[in-house]
A and B are shown apart, each in its own frame.
Chain A
Amino acid sequence: MTRTTNLKGLSRRQLLSRGVAAGAGFVIGVNFVSGADAAWATEMNALKPDTMATLIQMARDIYPHDKVADEFYAAAVKGYDVPDAVDDTEAGIEMLNGVARGKGHGSYIDIGWERDRVDVLRAIEDSAFFQKVRGGLVTGLYNQKAVWPIFGYEGESYSKGGYINRGFDDISWIG
């Protein structure tokens, strides 16, 4: 799973002109999903772009971190965009949208408030699909080295000589 900004040669304006804005700040094109600000985009190999956009929103709603940008959630679920995963993933998202419609919404991604989306997720949280997505995110999201600094986590330290001279005991608020 990699961060993808690979719609080569397209300007921001061209990119945005090729898609339609969806709820929750995504632009969905014929073969891509991007951020509404075009700061990132992911090209589709197997999944429908609508499905990917919904999956990204679902990922954020499962593990919402307001300081973590969409591109990291997109990278965390990019692994579902392969032929072997298409059927299960499309079916899972259709189930999600079905529950959303049953609660009076147009589709999952059209729901404006997080609490209402979480209400839909609660209704499917025992499903194999939800548990697969949630379980995959535990590593797919939190094991991305690029997100670690957002949480302050410093990762590998051996190459820097550990913390013996770099603040292992630098806490300032203990008397």
Chain B
Amino acid sequence: MAAPFDKTDDSVVVIIGTGAGGGVLANELAQKGISVVSLEAGGRYLPEDFINDEWDSFGQLAWLDPRTTSGDWRVAKDFSGLPAWIVKAVGGTTTHWAGASLRFQEHEWKAKTNYGAVQGANLLDWPIDGAEMAPWYEKAETKLGVTRTGDRAGLPGNNNFKVFEAGAKKLGYKEVHTGRMAINSSDYDGRMACQQTGFCFQGCKWGAKWSSAYTDIPRGEATGNLEVRERAHVLRIEHGDDGRVNGVVYADKDGVEHKQMARIVCVAGNSIESPRILLNSASAMYPDGLANSSGQVGRNYMRHLTGSVYGIFDKPVKMWRGTTMAGILQDEARLDPTRGFVGGYELETLSLGLPFMAAFLDPGGWGREFTTALDSYENMAGMWIVGEDMPQETNRVTVNSDVTDQFGMGVANVNYSDHANDKAMSAHAYALGQSIYDAMGATRTLPTPPYPSTHNLGTNRMSENARDGVVNRNGRSHDIDNLFVSDGSQFTTGASENPTLTIVALAIRQADHIAGEMTRGNL
């Protein structure tokens, strides 16, 4: 049967979310002839709709439904109602993401083994490794057109990169280049080359950056096997007396509730909404929420250790021109506990426009210390720190029933406190970032605190044993055999790399698993 599908059709796979995980999974299944209904909370925006304006774009794309925060992380103080900067739209956060596409390093798949006991950290080895993931990474790199993989050339360096590269090389760093980016350096797969416009975070108006919104989603729809239901906000997943899930209840744009029956349900609403949905789906049979016999749903929330460093020079940089994040230093991503911490970090070029710089440079700051920095905006260079943060059981997403959303559902509370390892790594990374700009003659450097989280990971983690996590090596619930998790929430640990490539690779692999299990009659 071809799309659209009837709500009573219980032969369909229902996927919640259309981003890097859900959007890719939907297309991969549709290409295999499997019927899919994708439920997307947001609307559909395509390159012609994207806006080269930071606040206008934020209003168009960002997930702004209420959330709450707690814990000692600075985001809870600076942006108490906005723990994450992620997208509510078809394509999810693949409209907003920077495009950095890095494979995990081999040792990062086995953090518990390689890092040893870290007090207060809930480390665990992934049940999979780099060798197993290699072919899936290659498929993901080909799908996304990642530069510096296959025969694809790197992007050219912009002004911001040139400052970053020269400073890093003066300090003796070697692994410094314009990154492995899902942004075309030349025309690829029907999408054009990067025009160095800036505004990568506001949706690429050229389509040069990969997003599921204008690749996997329409390709899946073209098969006739995929129906994407927009502005369909999932409230809960339901199950039958046999304990298996049988459908998903959502509110449409008018707030009217519907239930889509399902053969299989895949949750890909990101690491904040995915656990919230599972917890909000609690029933008499599953009083602690679905897939939660381990008690790990919502726990081990990771957001990467982040921060920015801006350097001010006596001459112009104009960092906003060109690809926002085409620049990386990878030497410090290695495992080297002699630095005083386990795990590693990347430094990546970053720029914000003047409006967001005013909002994020020093939230709450005012007076001349603040304004003289902005006075030199044209002479600023910028970089972002992204490092592996420690999973902690108490860093978690819970349902805050004191605050409800537009559908009367308890909202997600994101509790996070920095681990001592995170703080040690952070100090190292800020110092290096400032040294890089100092080496180039910076007259002032600004160690800028974290923005709302863009890398939200780990709240439904993958584990070998059911007691340690929520899903198995295929992202399949330990408890309920036709319930899957398909986004970054299945990350066992965060590694130091931007997560999207791994989310995409896992989704391609999961599609293969689901199709195989259906063929074998197991699903």
Contacts and interface: CB of A to CB of B under 8 A. Distances in A.
Interface of A: 62-65, 67, 118, 125, 134, 138-139, 141-143, 148, 151-159, 161-164, 166-175
Nearest to B370: A63
A152 B377 contact: yes
B195 A151 contact: no
Interface in B489-513: none
A171 B163 contact: yes
Contacts of B318: 152, 154, 167, 170-171
Nearest to A156: B52
Given A156-B52, A158-B52, A175-B166, A167 B321 contact: yes
A50 to B, nearest CB: 23
Contacts of A175: 166
Given A143-B355, A162-B195, A169-B157, A151 B378 contact: yes
B196 A168 contact: yes
B371 A64 contact: yes
Given A152-B377, A154-B320, A171-B316, A164 B162 contact: no
B72 interface: no
B285 interface: no
Interface in B295-313: 313
B322 interface: yes
Provide the main secondary structure of the chain B interface. loop
A168 B368 contact: no
Contacts of B316: 152, 171
A164 B55 contact: no
Nearest 9 pairs of A and B residues by beta carbon: A152-B378, A162-B197, A162-B195, A168-B322, A142-B358, A168-B196, A156-B52, A153-B354, A171-B159
B156 interface: yes
A118 B367 contact: yes
Contact of B320 (A138, A153, A166): A153
B520 interface: no
Given A152-B377, A158-B205, A163 B196 contact: yes
B196 A171 contact: no
A151 B366 contact: no
B402 interface: no
A152 B53 CA distance: 16
A169 B354 contact: no
Contacts of B197: 157-158, 162-164
Contacts of A125: 366
Contacts of B366: 62-63, 125, 134
A67 B370 CA distance: 15
B516 interface: no
A169 B34 CA distance: 47
B342 interface: no
Interface string B199-217: 1000001100000000000
27 contacts: A62-B367, A64-B367, A65-B375, A138-B359, A139-B55, A139-B359, A142-B354, A142-B359, A142-B374, A151-B354, A152-B377, A153-B377, A154-B318, A157-B197, A158-B52, A158-B197, A161-B195, A162-B195, A162-B196, A163-B158, A163-B196, A164-B197, A168-B158, A168-B159, A169-B156, A174-B162, A175-B166
A154 B318 CA distance: 9
Contacts of B358: 138, 141-142
Nearest to B53: A156
B157 A65 contact: no
Nearest to B195: A162
A164 B159 CA distance: 12
Contacts of B313: 173
B317 interface: yes
B198 interface: yes
B367 to A, nearest CB: 6
A139 B162 CA distance: 31
B353 interface: yes
B199 A157 contact: yes
User: Which of B157, B197, B198, B368 has the most chain A CB atoms inside 10 A of its CB?
Assistant: B197
A11 to B, nearest CB: 35
A38 B349 CA distance: 45
A134 B364 CA distance: 8
Interface in B311-329: 313, 315-318, 320-322
User: Which of B206, B353, B378 has the most chain A CB atoms inside 10 A of its CB?
Assistant: B353
A169 B367 contact: no
B371 A63 contact: yes
Contact of A157 (B159, B198, B371): B198
Contacts of B322: 162-163, 168-169
Contacts of A142: 354-355, 357-359, 374
Nearest to A154: B320
A164 B322 CA distance: 7
Contacts of A173: 313, 315
B198 A162 contact: yes
Contacts of A141: 358
